[in-house]
Chains A and B, each alone.
Chain A
Amino acid sequence: MIENKQVNKIYKMGEIDLRVIKDLNLRIDHGEFVAIVGPSGSGKSTVLNLIGCLDKPSDGKILIEGVDVTQLNTTDLANFRGKNIGFIFQSFNLIPVLNVYENIEYPLIMIQNLPKEQRHERIMQLLKEVDMLEQKDKFPDQLSGGQRQRVAIARALVTKPKIVFADEPTANLDTKTSNQIITLMRNIQKEFNTTFIFATHDEKIVTAVDRIITLVDGVITSDKRIQS
């Protein structure tokens, strides 16, 4: 469960303080499929960075699974992300020197330090899930955009995170591939009860989620739950 209490984020632009998030109060429960929408510069990515433990708020509290992440130091924050959070990026951000299998394996080795057998079992299961089993030995530059994003999804899920943050995950994909990726994430969310939080402009995602949080100038202007 994620709980934000009176969260503010101020950026210093020279002598000017730019307040991009204003008194944000937000609660997201387990297994929700949520989209944060809003115009460019509204603060979507900043909110995602804050609740994704990549950035710290200027003030306020962020509780994730009961832990006040604003109090954690850099290393503890990294460990917390490694255990609880997965990320899917707009431009996939796969590691070019690793093949598909190794990209998915990376967090299990470098972060969770799992034994080889457990790693293999988990990776093979996810490769099947994202339909990339046949491409497991290929390197990122040998894959299409949709395939790369599937790998990125598998990599985000391999650590069994409670929450997955996806920043514009379909922005670099064509419509057909976008729909496949959204369906894939939806299925995974249902199967593993993983919380998915998107920052997006994509109408296809907005129509697929259970909840839409609209942000304008760093303030939540609407928070709609959609009955499926």
Chain B
Amino acid sequence: MKNIIKMSFRNLLRSGRRTILTASLITIGVMFVLIYAALSGSFKAYMISQVTDSMLGHIQIHKKGYIASVDNLPLDKNINKKQLEKISALLKQNNYIESYTLRLKLSAMFSNYTASTGIRLNGIDPINEAKTLPLFSQRLNTQKASILKEGEILVPELVAKGMNVKKDDTIVLVATNQKGSVNGLNFRVSGSIEPISGPGGRDGYIHINDVKKLLRLKSTQVSEVVIRLKNVKHLQKVMQDLQPLLAIKNQKGKAVFEIHSWKKLTPFYNIVKMLDIMDISIKIILISIVLISVLNVMIMSVYERIKEIGTIAAMGTTPSTITKLFLSEGLMLGIFGTLLGTLLSYIFVFLINMIGIRFSFGRQSDLVLNPSLQTNEVIVVGVIVIIISLVASISPARKASKLNPVDALRQN
């Protein structure tokens, strides 16, 4: 095999310029794919963390049917104290979970004493909310260290503008509880909150104890449990660990809870999927480049060396050895192009990080993309290119091995 590789290497050097051109094409293709993957991966990771860390969390648990009717924020689909205890017990024993927070959601009337409008509200425990959603505070138009106290409200930005309310203004919230009893409470505006895409993205926030007062609840109940994982890569594992909750049935034999990952809860996941599809499309383009360039160079190589193939065949070289000779030439082109492409990609990504690509997202500006090459991505791209180089060489190699020595020797 060593000698086949040696022969193949020398044959590649024989048409040095053509070999360099072909290998360059592969190199550029590999670089394009890897740099795109690094940039899009960085952008994706950033967007995902924005969505999960500022509102959704990684996993949410609701009472069955809540998400289907989330537009109405139904109070009859809240999780009661007993059910919450079961959930808490399971969450506390899971080592992959960093923290969780409880939310009690409701619809209410928002009044500034001169006008009123409907508003969707989240009742939260501010400390747990901040622990579970580390970027939550970045959505706030307030400089306060504590995000919310009892008796305060964070007003959605659009409502604040529409109703012309400012920080420290007093407003009234009026809500109807499950029994039809109407209640109203005064709140001080603590600040406004930036909207975000996805369910609950335009909701206001008050303290969970205030919701209990507003709805005159005697016992604990929550609309959703929002979970943050220590590492998002454990999402599937934790989803699996939470399966026992889905096994809990009510008296009618139906599941009591539903569990959703962030992927099911935000339309942004479709953008992630689109980025993934673009990633695949670019890989297909790379495969085409490698396939066509290696196929072209190998076909040329066979046609130029017909007499030489006839000579080595006449000397007793078996068809399988001739096949191996040409396959290893294609393989070497692929390996060389991949190695060079990978090396240049690492250098390029390093330079991008040094220069720093800046962009704005929502209220945040001057964000810096932090691309990095993932080892598994590099391996996948390398393996694809090398396999395709080999596949592209199969047809020319077979043609070479099937040449009749007599016909081949007649060629000039």
Contact = CB atoms under 8 A, between A and B. Distances in A.
A82 B406 contact: no
Interface string A90-121: 00010111100000001101110000000000
A92 to B, nearest CB: 9
A83 B316 CA distance: 8
A155 B317 CA distance: 14
A95 B312 contact: yes
A82 B409 CA distance: 17
Nearest to A84: B316
A107 B406 contact: no
Contacts of B317: 78, 82, 110-111
Given A54-B405, A81-B316, A98-B10, A110 B308 contact: no
Contacts of A81: 314-316
Given A54-B314, A85-B316, A93-B307, A110 B321 contact: yes
B186 interface: no
A68 B7 CA distance: 33
B14 interface: yes
Given A97-B7, A97-B10, A75 B315 contact: no
A74 to B, nearest CB: 6
Contact of A79 (B308, B312, B316, B406): B316
Majority secondary structure of chain B interface residues (helix, strand, loop or mixed): helix
Nearest to A165: B314
B3 A110 contact: yes
A52 B321 CA distance: 20
B3 A87 contact: no
Nearest to B325: A110
Contact of B311 (A75, A79, A93): A93
A198 B311 CA distance: 17
Nearest to A55: B406
Contacts of B7: 97-98, 110
A97 B321 CA distance: 17
A106 B3 CA distance: 9
B382 to A, nearest CB: 28
A137 B154 CA distance: 85
A188 B120 CA distance: 103
A38 to B, nearest CB: 18
A96 B318 CA distance: 20
B14 A78 contact: no
A87 B4 CA distance: 22
Interface string B160-189: 000000000000000000000000000000
Given A74-B319, A79-B316, A95-B308, A54 B406 contact: yes
A82 B405 contact: no
B314 A75 contact: no
B318 A78 contact: yes
B406 A87 contact: no
A95 B315 CA distance: 12
Contacts of A85: 316
Nearest to A97: B10
Contacts of A79: 316, 318
Contacts of B316: 78-83, 85, 107, 111, 159
B11 interface: yes
Interface in A42-64: 49, 52, 54-55
Nearest to B410: A45
A194 to B, nearest CB: 16
Interface string B8-21: 00110110000000
A227 to B, nearest CB: 33
Tell which of B4, B314, B409 has the most Cβ of chain A within 10 Å. B314
B269 to A, nearest CB: 55
Interface in B276-317: 307-308, 310-317
Contacts of A107: 315-316
B318 A89 contact: no
Interface string B387-412: 00000000000000000111001000
B311 A95 contact: yes
16 contacts: A54-B405, A55-B406, A75-B318, A75-B320, A78-B317, A79-B316, A82-B316, A87-B315, A97-B14, A106-B315, A107-B315, A109-B3, A110-B3, A110-B312, A110-B321, A155-B315
Interface of B: 3-4, 7, 10-11, 13-14, 307-308, 310-321, 404-406, 409
Task: Please provide the 3 A-B residue pairs with the shortest distance between their CB atoms, ordered closest to farther.
Answer: A82-B316, A97-B10, A93-B311
Given A95-B308, A111-B315, 11 more contacts: A55-B406, A75-B318, A75-B319, A75-B320, A79-B318, A87-B314, A87-B315, A89-B409, A97-B10, A106-B312, A109-B3
